Amino acid sequence: MTAITLFACTFALVFALGLQSQFTNGGHYAAAFLNSGLIGTAQLLVLKLGPDASGLEIAGYILGGPFGIVAAMAVFRCWFRRSKCLTDQR
């Protein structure tokens, strides 16, 4: 269960960091402000669960990041740019 939790926390952390970059670059002040709470919460959970991680839990931690950043890129493209989502590759 901790492996899934570490995956989810790392996913959320990297997802939020990816969105934060887009929000900051785009001048979306309110979104960046609110998103900071998600970053802090996810980071706190990762720091609490990470130090005692076993092999499977480490794998969950490592895999959460790549999935999180790709999801953040797709969500930002779909929701904030109002483009054709995944079919509009530039």
With a cut of 70, say whether residue 84 has pLDDT above it.
Answer: no
| Cβ pair 68, 12 in contact under 8 A | yes
- How far is 89 from 5, CA to CA, in rounded Å? 32
Average pLDDT score, the chain: 89
Characterize 27-41 residue by residue with b for buried, 16 or more Cβ atoms within 10 angstroms of its Cβ, and e for exposed: ebeebbeebeebbee
Taking alpha carbons only, the member of 39, 35, 32 closest to residue 13 is 39
Confidence of residue 69 (pLDDT cuts 50, 70, 90): very high
Tens digits of residue pLDDT in 6-50: 999 999 999 999 999 999 998 999 999 999 999 999 999 999 988
Which pLDDT score, from 0 to 100, does residue 88 have? 54
With a cut of 60, say whether residue 4 has pLDDT above it.
Answer: yes
